[in-house]
Amino acid sequence: MTELLKNKNTAKLETPKTQKLADGDTKKLEKSSTRAKKDKAKYKVSNPDNALLLKLKDGDVVIEMYEEDAPKHVARIKELVRQGFYNGLKFHRVIDGFMAQTGCPYGTGTGGSGKKLKAEFNKRPHKRGTVSMARAFDPDSADSQFFICFAEAPWLNGQYTVWGEVTSGMEFVDMIKRGNGPNGMVSTPDEIVSVEVIADL
């Protein structure tokens, strides 16, 4: 929101009456059911309730989630997405030819949502487009941080919980700014514009 200049030469604007209405008295424009169906259908996912629309600076990315392989992780990711937790978070660690990591509220890789998840290691391989949970040494330490693979990373297989895959827009993931600091840290990182569950569009 643009801030008004505060000096004696600035004209004082009258406060619009609508600002005095309580939240319950104001009306929000709602999307028609037909429009909502069209919006969901254009992403061509197998299950809109298990798919995310990740908006990046260069374009939209669709992630389909593997609820059958990592049910607790998928449920927690959807919970955080619906809370708006990921909106505006940075891709703080990005290594060319490997992966882009995000999900830390501090933008440093040191934080999370405060809820640890038990590992749900599965047979899904880490390949280009794989979305997997970051964790510390403890296998059950995953929280909110995740990464998207730029390329195959077979040494991660069975060691990290794979919970999704980019099915559209990987070219926009490729445009995420790379890090040149220690361990891929990015000095002025790109951010997640927003994330939504496609069923909620």
- Residues 75-132: pLDDT tens digits? 999 999 999 999 999 999 999 999 999 999 999 999 999 999 999 999 999 999 999 9
Query: CA of 92: how far to CAs of 4, 10, 200, in Å?
Result: 33, 41, 27
Is 198 buried (19+), middle (13-18) or exposed (0-12) by CB count in 10 A? buried
Summarize the confidence of residues 165-174 as an average pLDDT: 98
Kindly indicate the confidence band of residue 181, based on its pLDDT and cuts at 50, 70 and 90. confident
If we measure between CA atoms, which residue out of 43, 39, 93, 87 comes closest to residue 63?
A: 43
**CB neighbour class for 160 (10 Å; exposed up to 12, middle 13-18, buried from 19):** buried
Nearest-angstrom CA–CA distance, 151 and 103:
20
Structure tokens at 47: 């299950």
Strands 194-197 and 162-168: what pairing? unpaired
Which residue(s) pair with 99 in the sheet? Answer: 95, 149
The rounded mean pLDDT for the chain is: 88
9 alpha carbon, distance to own chain's centre: 44
Taken in order 88, 102, 63, 175, the sign of the CA dihedral is: positive
Residue 22 DSSP code: -
Domains and CATH numbers, the chain: 47-200 (2.40.100.10)
The pTM (predicted TM-score) of the whole model is 0.82
- Higher pLDDT: 191 or 18? It is 191
Q: Which residues contact 29 (CB under 8 A, 6 or more apart)?
A: none
